[in-house]
Amino acid sequence: MAEYATIQPKTDLVADWERLFKVFIRPEDDDCRATLIKYMERILFGLHDFLKKNVGITEARSLKDLSESFTDTLISENPEKKLADVITCLIKEIAPHAVNVASPYFVGHMTSAIPFFMVHLKTIVAALNQNVVKLETSKVVSIIEKQVIAKIHRMIYDKTEAFYREHVQNADTSLGAFVEGGTTAAYDRAQHVSDVVVALRDLLSSMGAGGRITHQEDILPIDLDASNKINIHHLKNTISRLKTHSPRTCILAIVGIAGATETGTVDPLEQIAEICSRHKIHFHVDAAWGGATLFSKKYRHLLSGIDFADSVTIDGHKQFYMPMSCGMLYFKDPLSMDAIAYHANYVNRWGSVDLGIKTLSGSREANSLVLDCALKIMGAKGYSLLIDHGIETAADFAEEIRSRDNFQLVTPPELNILTYRICPRNLQNRLMRVGADERRQINQKLNAVNRDLQRIQREAGSSFVSRTKFKVNNDPDDEIVVLRSVIMNPMTTISILREILDEQEEIFLKQLQHLI
């Protein structure tokens, strides 16, 4: 086999056994040790300050320009840099071109600031480097994982003390599993339900992904009603249509969402549960986003019915404020996960209690340790404060949008996500009076304005909201572009949100008003 090409860096660093031992066992020397500690401190406390001082959300360097700077395809033969230099480069040259998701002005996506202790916890997980696929590489960590899974299971299902005593460390049963993310949770779920899945709302991306390992055409989207929740009438009709016209088709699962990606709405879980129970269909709730609302005594009722679900997805990297990425899947029945049990001779042997037996993932980091410690550091009340802040700030934001003449609130927040658009009051009134053709024309112009507005604000780089598109008025040809805000950063206040609206209004009035 031909040797692959390498490059010789312009340094006198060499890769040899002496240096290798230092990399594995201890920093090279006292100076290097001091530098590493200094940078750890910088990462913990200074990285976001550094970003705040030097860039807003992200620097205005174009993607094209950036990609032209990263075209090296040769690995260097000897080391190019010491770790301390690599860290300096990451902080000063790479981080500014990443996205400062911790900024309180970054309110467009479900990714935000995390408590600084998460960095400590993640560092410990990396340092221990346990592999939870099997006990031989994790021991107590697998046991802690079962415990923390039982804690979240209890928050969802609230079964009896005796139930949890029986299952918390039962090697033959499983209350849930950690996976990479909400999408993988859908994969795991889809693996159980591979005939027909009735997905709720317009093909949620994660169910679409789950469908990649089933058959996309087996996932049936159900219409939404005017409040962006699953249209129960259409769901019932779909079930009876399938039963009448395709009697051999088995409807294996119905998916309800607790905190929809685009609008944050929660489907009528109790009603869906009742339909599932009547037709003996598996009921899955995607609470990847909204699951943590259960922490809040004040707002947990918004998820009522979730305890009827046969399975539930929750993402740790969303409202549990964990670093990327940590998906979880919970099952009401502790034997449900037997359906995907698999064994191999080198791992997950028959009769073993390895956690890897009952998940689709193979090797896995010990995210459960991060979650378990985070629950201890925050307490349910700490999480509840975050949830309440998000929901209440979103409600205030909605009021602020309603009070401004140039904006239209499109989907009011049920949890902490809302959508709105630039649509001056006179146009809002006109849209209510005109016929379908004129309405579509007006919406198209407004769409161009809102699309440009979102881009201009993003490129200016000091604040960020996302945008998405909805079909409206039951008209397949009438789609509206909306701005989408997700309020999860505890530092995001109503006055920051007012500033974001001010900036948007100014962009509209100075640059885009002529388009409508």
Ligand X SMILES: Cc1ncc(COP(=O)(O)O)c(C=O)c1O
Residues forming contacts to ligand X in the complex (CB under 6 A) are: 110, 181-183, 206, 257, 259, 261, 286, 288-289, 315, 327
Q: Name residues whose C-beta falls within 8 Å of residue 367's C-beta, 6 or more positions apart in sequence.
A: 125, 178, 316, 322, 326
Our CB check for ligand X shows the closer of 47 and 230 to be: 230
Tell me which DSSP letter residue 304 carries. T
Our CB check for ligand X shows the closer of 134 and 318 to be: 318
Q: Is the Cβ–Cβ distance between 327 and 180 less than 8 Å?
A: yes
Q: How far is the CB of 293 from ligand X (least distance, A)?
A: 12
Q: Is the Cβ–Cβ distance between 358 and 340 less than 8 Å?
A: yes
Q: How far is the CB of 321 from ligand X (least distance, A)?
A: 14
Q: How far is the CB of 2 from ligand X (least distance, A)?
A: 40
Q: Which amino acid is at 467?
A: R
Our CB check for ligand X shows the closer of 320 and 508 to be: 320
Our CB check for ligand X shows the closer of 211 and 259 to be: 259
Q: Is the Cβ–Cβ distance between 331 and 179 less than 8 Å?
A: no
Distance, CA of 292 to CA of 152 (rounded, Å): 10
Q: Closest by alpha carbon to 420, among 436, 444, 402?
A: 402
Q: How far is the CB of 287 from ligand X (least distance, A)?
A: 8
Q: How far is the CB of 448 from ligand X (least distance, A)?
A: 27
Q: How far is the CB of 173 from ligand X (least distance, A)?
A: 26
Our CB check for ligand X shows the closer of 387 and 446 to be: 387
Q: Closest by alpha carbon to 156, among 260, 324, 286, 336?
A: 286
Q: How far is the CB of 207 from ligand X (least distance, A)?
A: 8
Our CB check for ligand X shows the closer of 39 and 283 to be: 283
For residue 19, give both structure tokens: 């240096």
Buried b (16+ CB within 10 A) or exposed e, 46-67: ebbebbeeebbbbbeeeeeeee
Our CB check for ligand X shows the closer of 47 and 360 to be: 360
E strands, 326-449, are 327-331, 407-411, 417-422
Q: Is the Cβ–Cβ distance between 475 and 436 less than 8 Å?
A: yes
Q: How far is the CB of 417 from ligand X (least distance, A)?
A: 9
Our CB check for ligand X shows the closer of 352 and 361 to be: 361
Distance, CA of 37 to CA of 26 (rounded, Å): 13
Among all residues, whose Cβ is closest to ligand X?
182
DSSP string, 194-254: -SEEEE-TTT-HHHHHHHHTS-GGGEEE--B-TTSSB-HHHHHHHHHHHHHH-TT--EEEE
